[in-house]
Amino acid sequence: MFDFVDGTAQSNEQGQRARKLFAAVVLAALDDAIADDRKYGNGPEQIARWARSRDGRDVLSCAGIDPNERVVKGLMEFVAKGVRTSVALSREESERRHQRAAEEAAAA
């Protein structure tokens, strides 16, 4: 019985690692689209094309993201904002966004 539990735990752990790896690929695709947007002005279209492609849908699915049209629109909006993923995921940026939201709520 313990062998089964150990095997299941090992399998689950490997699945989590694989999901994180594919999530990193999605973040890299977002960064590439942001770079394209700055250089050529077509970043949102690039990420939409990638996300709608078979490879993009497979990567999104493996990352645990449902590859539907709502997700594609969210990816396009993220690229249009032009904030790189490393900055967007940082604690300082999160604190700045919360502070701005609090200031806007207080002003309203």
CB atoms within 10 A of CB 23: 16
Q: pLDDT by residue (tens digit) across 88-103?
A: 888 887 788 888 888 8
Q: What is the CA angle 10-15-21, rounded to 5?
A: 130
Estimate to the nearest angstrom the gap between the alpha carbon of 108 and the chain centroid: 31
Which pTM was predicted?
0.78
Q: Residue 31: is its pLDDT beyond 80?
A: yes
What is the CB-side half-sphere exposure of residue 92 using CA atoms within 13 A? 2
Residue 88 CA: distances (Å) to CA of 26, 58, 62, 104, 108: 14, 24, 22, 20, 26
Work out the pLDDT band at 105, boundaries 50, 70, 90: confident
| pLDDT score at 12 | 83
Lowest mean pLDDT among 62-66, 71-75, 86-90, 103-107: 86-90
Domain spans, the chain: 2-107
Residues 33/47, Cβ–Cβ less than 8 Å: yes
